C-alpha cells in the first residue's frame, strides 16, 4: 500500500486546477541589482553544478548533478551522462546527501510590521533558510495592520526590504469590510497578493474579523477572474453552551483535555459542510469557475475529511493541508500546563493522528504547511499553564522538514512524497510557476539534507526563530539535518552560517 501511495505521488495526483493556477498566474520578483553575488551567497560562483547520488526530481531519484547558472536550473544530468560536461565548471559535491527542491511553506506568520517582537522578516526567513524552506507565503494577520488593503500590503513589502533570506509572497485578507467591495478586493489582488485568506471563527486579532459563508461566496466569485485561491480557517463555533461552561470554570484550565473539549471536531465538520455549499460554484461551467478553495491546517481526520473527499470527487476545486504538529503529537501525551502545544484547531487524539497519516500518504490530504504562529513568550502563559487563556500557535518554521521525516519514517514516507507535499503542490497552490521542483528552467531553489543525521533540539542547537524556547518541538530528538539551502542559486545557508546579505525577494502577483 505504501509503495502504491508513493507511485500515486510520482504520477502527480493534484487537482487539474492547480496546474491551471500555475499557468495563468504570472509572477514577478522585486529584485535589486546593487548586490554582488558574493554578498548574497556563501559561494562566489554564478555557474556551477550541485552533485549527489540522491537527487529528487519529478521523474524519480537520480544520481547525477544539477547545473545552476544565473539563479536558474539549466540542466539536470545523470551520472553516466556527466563525462565531458562538467569539465572546468565548479562542482559542489554532496556525496549521498538528499538534494531536493526547497520547501514552499504556504502558511506562515511573520508578524511584521507591527508585531516584530513576536517574529520578523529577518528572524523568520533565517529560520526558514536553516530549515530548507526557500519560499514562504506570509499570512495576512498577526502583523499590524492586517493585510486587508493595498496600503497594508505596501507596508508589508516595505517592512521586508533587505531582511529576506528566502523569497516571500503574501496572502491578502478577506474580511467583512472588503468582502462585498469588489473594487477593494480587486485593488488588493492587483497590488500583488497571491490569493486571499479568511476565518470562519474569531481569529484572535481585532482587525481581522471572521467571515460568514456569504462573504466567502463573494470572495470566490472575485477570485475566479484572477484564478487565485481562497484559503479558509474552517472552524465554526457550535456546541457553544458546553464551551461557555468550560470557560466558566467547570474544566481544569491547566488540562489540555479541557481545551480540546472547547474546540471539538464538530467545529471543523460544521465549517466544511458550509463551505461545500459554495465550492460547487468552482466546478467547470459554474459561476466561480477558475476560483479555488483551500482548507488550511485540517486536524480532524474523520467526518471532515470524508466530506472533503466527496466534494473533490464531485469536481469541486478544493484542496486541503495539514501540519507537522498534528502528525507528530497526540492529545494524550500533552502534559498539564504545557501551553506550547496550544493551537487551533487543536492537536487531537492518537487514533486521529494515525488517520491523518493514512490520508496524507494516500493522497487525500494534498500538502503540508508549518502554520508557524509565534508570539512573545509572555502570551503563552507558560508559568500559569492556562490553556484557555494562552496564545494559540505552534512555533515551528525551522524544524518542519526534520519533523516530517522523523515521524514519517514509521509510516514509510518517501523522499518523493516529501518533495510533493512540501514543494511541488504548495508551489502550484500559490501559482509559483518556476518553483517547487528540480527541473530545467526552474529557479535553483534547493535544499540539501542528511536524513540519517540525528540531533537534539535544545539550547545548544542553533535555532533562529525570534523565540525558539516556546516551540513545542524543543527537547525532541530528530533525524534529518539540513546541510545547505540555495535560493535562486545563492547558497544562503550552510553549516550554521547565513549569507552576509539578505537577498531574498518579495513575490508579487501581476
pLDDT recorded at residue 89: 74
Query: d(Cα 275, Cα 296) in Å, to the nearest integer?
Result: 13
Burial bucket for residue 422 (CB in 10 Å: 0-12, 13-18, 19+)? buried
* Span 109-168, pLDDT tens digits: 999 999 999 999 999 999 999 999 999 999 999 999 999 999 999 999 999 999 999 999
Tell me what pLDDT residue 86 has: 62
Domain ranges of the chain: 2-26+101-434
DSSP 86-115: STTSEEEE-TTSEEEEPEEEEEE---TTT-
**The pLDDT value given to residue 251:** 80
What distance, in Å, lies between the first and last C-alpha atoms of the chain? 42
Burial class of residue 445 (count of CB atoms within 10 Å of its CB; 0-12, 13-18, 19+): buried
* Model pLDDT, residue 402: 98
Pair type for strands 47-57 and 98-101: parallel
Among 442, 365, 492, smallest CA distance to 37 is for: 492
Question: How many alpha carbons fall within 13 Å on the CB side of residue 73?
Answer: 26
What is the three-class DSSP state of 81? helix
DSSP state, 375?
-
| The CATH homologous superfamily of the domain defined by 2-26+101-434 | Metal-dependent hydrolases (3.20.20.140)
Q: Which residues of 378-411 are buried (b: 16+ CB within 10 A; e: fewer)?
A: ebbbbeebbbbebbbbbbbbbbbbbbbbbbbeee
What is the rounded distance in angstroms from the CA atom of residue 404 to the CA atom of residue 411?
11
pLDDT at 38: 76
Write down the pLDDT at residue 81.
82
- For residue 128, give the 3-state DSSP assignment: helix
pLDDT value of position 35: 44
H or E element, residue 455: strand 446-456
| Other beta carbons less than 10 A from residue 182's beta carbon | 13
- Using 50 as the pLDDT threshold, list the residues of the chain that sit under it: 1-36, 241-242
List pLDDT tens digits, range 169-197: 999 999 999 999 999 999 999 999 999 99
**Measured CA angle at 29 (ends 23, 30), to 5 deg:** 150
Between β-strands 497-498 and 490-494, what pairing exists: parallel, antiparallel or unpaired? Answer: antiparallel
Q: Report the alpha-carbon distance of residue 31 to residue 42 in Å, rounded.
A: 19
CA torsion 179-263-118-373 (nearest 10°) is: -80
Report d(CA 173, CA 144) in Å as an integer.
12
Average pLDDT, the chain: 91
Amino acid at each position: 500500500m505504501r509503495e502504491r501511495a508513493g507511485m500515486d505521488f510520482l504520477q502527480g495526483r493534484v487537482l487539474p486546477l492547480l496546474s491551471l493556477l500555475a499557468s495563468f498566474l504570472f509572477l514577478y520578483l522585486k529584485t535589486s541589482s546593487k548586490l554582488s553575488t558574493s554578498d548574497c551567497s556563501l559561494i562566489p560562483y554564478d555557474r556551477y553544478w550541485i552533485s549527489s547520488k540522491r537527487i529528487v526530481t519529478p521523474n524519480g531519484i537520480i544520481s547525477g548533478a544539477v547545473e545552476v547558472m544565473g539563479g536558474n536550473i539549466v540542466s539536470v544530468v545523470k551520472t553516466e551522462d556527466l563525462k565531458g560536461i562538467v569539465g572546468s565548471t565548479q562542482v559542489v559535491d554532496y556525496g549521498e546527501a538528499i538534494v531536493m527542491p526547497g520547501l514552499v511553506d504556504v502558511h506562515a506568520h511573520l508578524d511584521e510590521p507591527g508585531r516584530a517582537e513576536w517574529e520578523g522578516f529577518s528572524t523568520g526567513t533565517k529560520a526558514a533558510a536553516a530549515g530548507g524552506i526557500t519560499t514562504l507565503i506570509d499570512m495576512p494577520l498577526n502583523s499590524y495592520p492586517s493585510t486587508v488593503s493595498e496600503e497594508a500590503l505596501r507596508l508589508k513589502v516595505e517592512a521586508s526590504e533587505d531582511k529576506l533570506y528566502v523569497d516571500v509572497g503574501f496572502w491578502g485578507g478577506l474580511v467583512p469590510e472588503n468582502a462585498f467591495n469588489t473594487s477593494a478586493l480587486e485593488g488588493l489582488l492587483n497590488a500583488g497578493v497571491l490569493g486571499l485568506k479568511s476565518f470562519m471563527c474569531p481569529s484572535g486579532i481585532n482587525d481581522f474579523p471572521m467571515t460568514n459563508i456569504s462573504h466567502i461566496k463573494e470572495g470566490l466569485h472575485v477570485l475566479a477572474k484572477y484564478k487565485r485561491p481562497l484559503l479558509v480557517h474552517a472552524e465554526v463555533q457550535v456546541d457553544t453552551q458546553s464551551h461557555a461552561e468550560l470557560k466558566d470554570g467547570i474544566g481544569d484550565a491547566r488540562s489540555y483535555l479541557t481545551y480540546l473539549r472547547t474546540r471539538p471536531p464538530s467545529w471543523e465538520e460544521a465549517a466544511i459542510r458550509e463551505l461545500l455549499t459554495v465550492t460547487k460554484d468552482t466546478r467547470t461551467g459554474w459561476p466561480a469557475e477558475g476560483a479555488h478553495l483551500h482548507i488550511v491546517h485540517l486536524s480532524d481526520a474523520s467526518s471532515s475529511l470524508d466530506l472533503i473527499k466527496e466534494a473533490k470527487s464531485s469536481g469541486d476545486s478544493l484542496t486541503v493541508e495539514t501540519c507537522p504538529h498534528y502528525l507528530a503529537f497526540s492529545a494524550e501525551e500533552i502534559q498539564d500546563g504545557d501551553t506550547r502545544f496550544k493551537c487551533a484547531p487543536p492537536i487531537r487524539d492518537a487514533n486521529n493522528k494515525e488517520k491523518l497519516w493514512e490520508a496524507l500518504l494516500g493522497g487525500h490530504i494534498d500538502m503540508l504547511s508549518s502554520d508557524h504562529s509565534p508570539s512573545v513568550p509572555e502570551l503563552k502563559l507558560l508559568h500559569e499553564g492556562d490553556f484557555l487563556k494562552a496564545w494559540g500557535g505552534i512555533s515551528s518554521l525551522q524544524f518542519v522538514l526534520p519533523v516530517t521525516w522523523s515521524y514519517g519514517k514509521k509510516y514509510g514516507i518517501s523522499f518523493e512524497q516529501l518533495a510533493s507535499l512540501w514543494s511541488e503542490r504548495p508551489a502550484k497552490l500559490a501559482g509559483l510557476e518556476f518553483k517547487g521542483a528540480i527541473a530545467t528552467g526552474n529557479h535553483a531553489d534547493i535544499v540539501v539534507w542528511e536524513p540519517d543525521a540525528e540531533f537534539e533540539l535544545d539550547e545548544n542547537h542553533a535555532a533562529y526563530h525570534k523565540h525558539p524556547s516556546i516551540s513545542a518541538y524543543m527537547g525532541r530528538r530528530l533525524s534529518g539535518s539540513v546541510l545547505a539551502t540555495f535560493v535562486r542559486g545563492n547558497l544562503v545557508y550552510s553549516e550554521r552560517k547565513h549569507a552576509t546579505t539578505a537577498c531574498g525577494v518579495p513575490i508579487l502577483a501581476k
